[in-house]
Amino acid sequence: MDKDGKYSYGYIVSVNASKGSFVKIFPNPASSELFIATPQDQPVHVQVYDMVGQLVMAQGHTTRLDISALVPGSYSLLITDVRGVAQSHAQFVKH
């Protein structure tokens, strides 16, 4: 619930946490680019959320994010495969 008494519901996603299914992001912290490494080096879809849960960036079929336009702070990533199946959540800091 927000301070003004309003609320909204978000989407529920499942995360595939099978053994060997992990994603690495680097560098962290970062200032301009963020790289995403998957076990098979496959491109992924990435959604970037600020710390209040607002979607601030989305990019599909990539292994690199240009984060230079983001304001400094902490962010959360939802990383999905090309089929839209959630693979990982991660956090990073933008300088």
pLDDT tens digit string along 37-77? 988 888 999 999 999 999 999 999 999 999 999 999 999 99
Question: Which one-letter DSSP state was computed for residue 30?
Answer: B
Give the residues across from 91 on adjacent strands.
76
Helices (H), 8-69: none
Q: How far apart are alpha carbons 15 and 26 in whole angstroms?
A: 21
Please tell me the distance from the alpha carbon of residue 87 to that of residue 55, in angstroms, as a whole number. 18
Task: Determine if the pTM surpasses 0.85.
Answer: no
